[in-house]
Amino acid sequence: MKIANILKPNRKWLIASVIFITACAGAVSTLPPEQIGEEIGEQIVEEVAPEPTEIEESVTEESDEGVSGGAAAVPKVLPDFLPDEPPPSGAAGQFSTDFSLHIVPYSEILSGGPPKDGIPAVDNPQFISVAEADEFLGELEPIVFFKVGDDARAYPLQVLTWHEIVNDVVGGKPVTITFCPLCNTAIAFSRDFEGQVLDFGTTGRLRFSNLIMYDRQTETWWQQATGQGIAGEHTGEQLTFLPASIIGWEEFKQNFPDGQVLSRDTGFRRDYGRNPYAGYDNINNSPFLFRGPETPGVLPAMARVLTVELDGEAVAYPYEALQEQAAINDTIAGSEVVIFWQPGTASALDAGVIAQGEDVGAGVSFSRVVDGHVLTFSFDGEKIVDDQTGSEWDVFGQAISGELEGTQLEPVVSVNHFWFSWAAFKPDTRVYTG
């Protein structure tokens, strides 16, 4: 079975979608509206349609084996559906979704401007070598790091900003790598779901400023920030989160010289490298297209946080605290975790050119249990070390010198957010204060 081709947007909607992306910087844009229109209009060229992909065929056997596992069928527990109401404006004509099934009020869902697939996912991703990517990526340029076994990949945000979703197979596992620029959320999910492989596209809708995806197999709508089905056949069900992190290009290049990098040869022509949201992450800004609960005043709405949720307990680690401590030891729902931070990663939402963004650093999280022993970590002024052996650790959770050299900490799923975004979905979050 082949993955369905994405809908090729017509010229009118393409212009509208790209102008919307640029407009997301709102009042902080460095160009007046008429110049924005001229600039965007000049780069609208004939679309290069992507070739049909074969990736689903290549993983069918492995996916079926991984899903079945000999487990007995478990009756599905139905969620508490909301009363039937008209779907979001225009949605019924674009989607075959069963909109009678939903767990969020449709009044919370806003149109972002583009239609279904108006921001096109990358369905047939091409990859290049580190040496080839080094020709166009800056040292601090942010990439999404994702790894399965020995298959390490980098997804530059200069590409994801314009596509938001990449349907891929990494280490033989079907995954989707997603990025919502308005919330600064880069999240990886498994595409294995109930015995089939899903692939995802963009709905053109937002909830609490966050990307709403849909799967092309059932056209269920999924909230990117939570991975939950919110409308359609799989309403109330949950996608599986996978560990992914935003780090700087130089860090990936040095540690994974044989890694693969998502190519800018996407089948579409975009101004890769330019940030259409210039200035959006200014701490004094307000979120764009946000209609949701009032953001708790414990942090500014646009404060950067790294979030971890384990067994129902959610914690947000402000980047300000991470920068001060570099290593934070914590316990979440009985699990011992450590949060590492190091400089060397530019903001994708600051300067007009992504590679020139302010260095905001990278935050990552791991279990701090090694061979049944709980380690504690600290920053000695130059490097992160564990207090038990004095071994040095890097941002990938690996001991690079000392008694534990070569030891790998187990990654814990964590996600970058702006505070307003996370708090809208998880208002009972504990905020780490140090």
Number of domains in the chain: 3
Over the stretch 354-389, which tens digit does the pLDDT of each residue have?
A: 999 999 999 999 999 999 999 999 999 999 999 999
**Residues 20 and 139 grouped into a single domain:** no
Over the stretch 296-335, which tens digit does the pLDDT of each residue have?
A: 999 999 999 999 999 999 999 999 999 999 999 999 999 9
**Residues 329 and 239 grouped into a single domain:** no
Break the chain down into helix, strand, coil percent, rounded to 5. Answer: 20, 30, 50
**pLDDT for the residue numbered 358:** 97
Q: Is 43 helix (H, G, I), strand (E, B) or coil?
A: helix
Percent of the chain scoring above 90 in pLDDT: 78
Nearest to 270 by CA among 182, 140, 156, 116: 156
Residue 88 has pLDDT above 80, yes or no: yes
In this structure, is residue 285 part of a structural domain? no
Cβ atoms of 215 and 20 within 8 Å: the answer is: no
Give the alpha-carbon dihedral of 125, 127, 132, 135, to 10 degrees. Answer: 30
**pLDDT for the residue numbered 121:** 98
Residue 52 has pLDDT above 60, yes or no: no
Q: pLDDT category, 83, cuts 50, 70, 90?
A: confident
Cβ atoms of 51 and 122 within 8 Å: the answer is: no
Q: pLDDT category, 81, cuts 50, 70, 90?
A: confident
**Residues 196 and 168 grouped into a single domain:** yes
In this structure, is residue 2 part of a structural domain? no
Residue 285 has pLDDT above 60, yes or no: yes
**pLDDT for the residue numbered 261:** 98
**Residues 110 and 242 grouped into a single domain:** yes
In this structure, is residue 403 part of a structural domain? yes
Q: pLDDT category, 34, cuts 50, 70, 90?
A: very low
**Residues 110 and 257 grouped into a single domain:** yes
**pLDDT for the residue numbered 8:** 34
**Residues 346 and 425 grouped into a single domain:** yes
- Segment 239-245 shows an average pLDDT of 98
**Residues 113 and 257 grouped into a single domain:** yes
**pLDDT for the residue numbered 75:** 54
Give the alpha-carbon dihedral of 208, 212, 247, 299, to 10 degrees. Answer: 10
Residue 71 has pLDDT above 90, yes or no: no
- Segment 74-87 shows an average pLDDT of 77
**Residues 81 and 37 grouped into a single domain:** no
**Residues 215 and 336 grouped into a single domain:** no
**Residues 236 and 354 grouped into a single domain:** no
**pLDDT for the residue numbered 113:** 87
**pLDDT for the residue numbered 41:** 32
Q: What are 106's two structure tokens? A: 């449709």
Cα 280 to chain centroid, rounded = 17
CA distance 225 to 391: 35
In this structure, is residue 299 part of a structural domain? no
Q: Output the pTM of the full model.
A: 0.85
- Residue 432 backbone dihedrals phi, psi, to 5 degrees: -65, 130
Residue-number span of the structural domain to which 419 is assigned: 304-431
Place of tokens 């109401």: 85
- Segment 125-149 shows an average pLDDT of 98
Cα 28 to chain centroid, rounded = 24
Cβ atoms of 123 and 199 within 8 Å: the answer is: yes
* Least confident range of 54-58, 119-123, 355-359: 54-58
In this structure, is residue 231 part of a structural domain? yes
In this structure, is residue 211 part of a structural domain? yes
Sign of CA dihedral 228, 146, 339, 323: negative
Cβ atoms of 20 and 114 within 8 Å: the answer is: yes
Q: Which amino acid is at 284?
A: N
**Residues 36 and 87 grouped into a single domain:** no
Q: Which amino acid is at 260?
A: Q
**pLDDT for the residue numbered 46:** 35
In this structure, is residue 375 part of a structural domain? yes
* Least confident range of 58-72, 258-272, 420-434: 58-72
In this structure, is residue 180 part of a structural domain? yes
Cα 197 to chain centroid, rounded = 19
What is the average pLDDT value for the chain, to the nearest integer?
86
Within 13 A of 323's CA, how many CA atoms are on the CB side?
A: 11
Q: What are 272's two structure tokens? A: 């890769």
Q: The domain that contains 338 carries what CATH number?
A: 2.102.10
CA distance 234 to 102: 9
Residue 31 has pLDDT above 60, yes or no: no
**Residues 136 and 86 grouped into a single domain:** yes
